[in-house]
Amino acid sequence: MNTKKPWGGRFTGTTDEFVESFTASVQFDARLGEIDARCSQAHAKTLLHAEILNQAEYDAIVTGLNQIIVDIQADRFPWDPALEDVHMNIEARLTQMIGEPGRKLHTARSRNDQVASAFRVYLLEHGDALQRALVTLQKALLAQAEANIDTIMPGFTHLQNAQPITFGHHLMAWFEMVERDVSRLKDWQHRTNVSPMGSAALAGTSFPIDRQIFKDAMKFREISRNSLDSVSDRDFVIELASILSLIMVHLSRWCEEVILWISPAFKFVDLPDELCTGSSIMPQKKNPDVAELVRGKSGRVLGHLQSLLLLMKGQPLAYNRDNQEDKEAVFDALDTTAQCVAAMQLLIEGLEPNREKMLELAAQGHPTATDMADWLVRHDVPFRTAHESCGNAVALADSRGIELHDLKLAELQEINPAFDESIYECLTLDGSVRSRRHPGGTAPEAVKQAIAQAKLRLSQ
Ligand code: ARG
């Protein structure tokens, strides 16, 4: 309350206590502290080059900020909510430590370009870490897929038995989703990797600074092109939240499958005890809580995306304080997604497929009816006629409670005279799966190739 505000020159009254705590952000933006200090060192370099700072002042600032970084890392930096945010806390502390040179640091900048810069760097660094975690997840998927190249399971459409597939192929479908997620993060990084510094409050600065110096020091790809846009743009936050949302949608879909598969109705997979929890009342229960939580947490991340979109939609140019609300949403979205990716990694590694159960269900519901129709087409029957004949065969088998391969050849020939003995080979699950051996198909041979190509892409 009684802390002197760095912006307090035009004020005579003190800030209302409620307003002070209402406007403070340091409780959540302190996590930008180390990066904000590094940005300030880079800005000091710009000021040295423009002869706004002399060498001694520059050295004092850099040394002071190094000490601040050490204090932040050691969790002993004295954050003060009365100093509002991370930026003013660090500047005030620096001035307390080194005196006058600290009071020169804010020349040619504003908190508006300061926060835009530090926030970008923070998100870019975390984007890198998330990409690495996703690649590790992909490796876990590859290992499971490799172990299940010829594990036959039912493939579903409408959650109805459709056609037999291999479990390896199913896992590689998940792999593809992650590959798109990683590529989206890369695209986002390219657009986000732009330095706003030098835009100052909104209109740029009257000091003769070289914006390239800060850009190079903070390893940005290029400098931004419009000062108004630079301080007010939060597309990079929204885009990231949308990428995170899509990652969570993917993980949530996988979890939905794992939850179904582990249920007694399917029993397709088991998970080791370490990854499950029990019920406080029902002693027999072994629940897939980790998967359920990942599915549940996806809602949280999707909600943050909505908050961020709504936060921006009414804002006139340039900076508005509304933007302070962007941090908690995206920080939580990032933390949650990173946690869920790690949880998913454990689940994938822990999956123990039950081959017998998968095979048993894969055989139900005439899953090779399409193979039967394809066989007729290869024997000069137009596809629509073949489809109809096989539909008749399915109805006949159903009326007797038997499978297609239990029908006698004579019965099949009555439906369509083109049938001969060789039809029975293509009615087996194994034959059906093996025949789909083109690139992208479910045959063990094709999945093996897909895995080899995926490994190659990961190594590049
Ligand atoms: N804490 C603020 C934020 O997160 C920093 C910028 C404040 N700028 C201002 N002119 N009030 O957006």
Angle at 84 between CA 82 and CA 86, to 5 degrees: 120
9: Cα separation from own chain's centroid: 45
- 196 Cα to the center of ligand 1, angstroms: 14
Residue 450 CB neighbours (<10 A): 23
pLDDT value at residue 282: 80
pLDDT in tens, 165-179: 999 999 999 999 999
Question: Which residue type, as a one-letter code, is found at position 334?
Answer: L
Query: 324 CB under 6 A from ligand 1?
Result: yes
Query: 89 CB under 6 A from ligand 1?
Result: no
pLDDT value at residue 10: 86
Determine whether 158 is an active site residue. Answer: yes
Closest protein CA for atom 3 of ligand 1: 324
Q: What is the pTM of this model?
A: 0.95
Query: 193 CB under 6 A from ligand 1?
Result: no
Distance CA(189)–CA(123), nearest Å, equals: 9
Q: How far is CA 377 from CA 164, 368, 373, in A?
A: 20, 14, 6
Q: Which atom of ligand 1 is nearest to the CA of 119?
A: 4
- 183 Cα to the center of ligand 1, angstroms: 32
pLDDT in tens, 347-370: 999 999 999 999 999 999 999 999
- 197 Cα to the center of ligand 1, angstroms: 14
Query: 321 CB under 6 A from ligand 1?
Result: yes
Parallel, antiparallel, or unpaired for β 152-157 and 352-353?
unpaired
Query: What's the token pair of residue 271?
Result: 């998970």
pLDDT value at residue 2: 58
pLDDT in tens, 3-34: 778 888 888 888 899 999 999 999 999 999 99
Q: Which of 158, 206, 399, 459 is catalytic?
A: 158
Peptide bond into 118 cis (omega under 30): no
Element holding 290 (H helix, E strand): helix 289-313
**Phi/psi of residue 166, each to 5°?**
-105, 145
Query: 181 CB under 6 A from ligand 1?
Result: no
Query: What's the token pair of residue 122?
Result: 């923070």
Mean pLDDT, rounded, for 324-332:
98
Taking alpha carbons only, the member of 448, 460, 457 closest to residue 149 is 448
**Given the structure tokens 């990173």, which residue do they identify?**
338
Q: What is the CA radius of gyration of the chain?
A: 31
- 48 Cα to the center of ligand 1, angstroms: 25
